[in-house]
Amino acid sequence: MIPLDIISDPICPWCYIGWTNLARALEARPDQPFAIEWHPFQLNPEMPEGGMDRREYLEAKFGGREGAVRAYAPVIEHAERAGLALNFDRIERTPNTIDAHRLIHWAGIEGRQTPVAIALFKAYLIEGRDINDPDTLREIAEAMGLDGAMIATLLAGDADADDLRARDASARSRGVTGVPCFVVARQHVVTGAQSPEFWMQVIDELNAARAGSDAGQ
């Protein structure tokens, strides 16, 4: 298998769009060669621990609603093209995402990383849920087959938080300035929400290269 590392933040709409397009390509290519692993990146690393009111966040980042509308117009357009109906109006708070990243990390230990990452995207960007809330994270964990009581206990402490912040900082030190960022085979970097057709071409080229290598042995 070929490693495909996905650096993302569960509140990032472009990350959800990028994943959805990749998933469409994976469905179209059942022989796809990827072993997927998700890695942390916080869009707002200085976000207060309890998050902040969404309106205040938009005012600070985009200068208010009109600026946010302009910024999100291409997001909504690409989301619709990907078949996603994002509901920004449902979002009341912009969360600190370190606990969501902890949940994704723990899900990886149980082999449930991708389903949990997708569930977090959906919870925040479609359902407008607060993915900084421990009860919400526990419910998502249970719905994805994880031990909710264990997750609640872990969330009550600070297990793995410093490690995930360090991994986030490491990605930035290596030049990651925005997400989604995909790293193919630990060396080829793909940024942004690429189309399904792009990923199908990548898969085809990788499979052809592998077939050629096998034939030469």
Q: Residue 194 is part of a domain; what is its CATH number?
A: 3.40.30.10
Q: Is residue 2 in some structural domain?
A: no
* 66-120 residue pLDDT tens: 888 899 999 999 999 999 999 999 999 999 999 999 999 999 999 999 999 999 9
DSSP character at residue 87 = -
Q: Model-level pTM greater than 0.85?
A: yes
Domain count, the chain: 1
* 3 inside domain: no
Tell whether 1 is covered by a domain: no
| Residue 4 forms part of a structural domain | no
pLDDT digits (tens, 9 = 90+) for 149-192: 999 999 999 999 999 999 999 999 999 999 999 999 999 999 99
In a domain, 107, yes or no: yes
- Whether 162 maps to a domain, the answer reads yes
Could you tell me the residue range of the domain that residue 164 belongs to?
11-215
Residue 33 lies in a domain: yes
Residue 29 falls within a domain, yes or no? yes
Q: Is the peptide bond before 180 cis (omega within 30 degrees of 0)?
A: yes
Distance between alpha carbon 25 and the CA centroid of its chain, in Å?
A: 17
End-to-end alpha carbon distance in the chain: 18
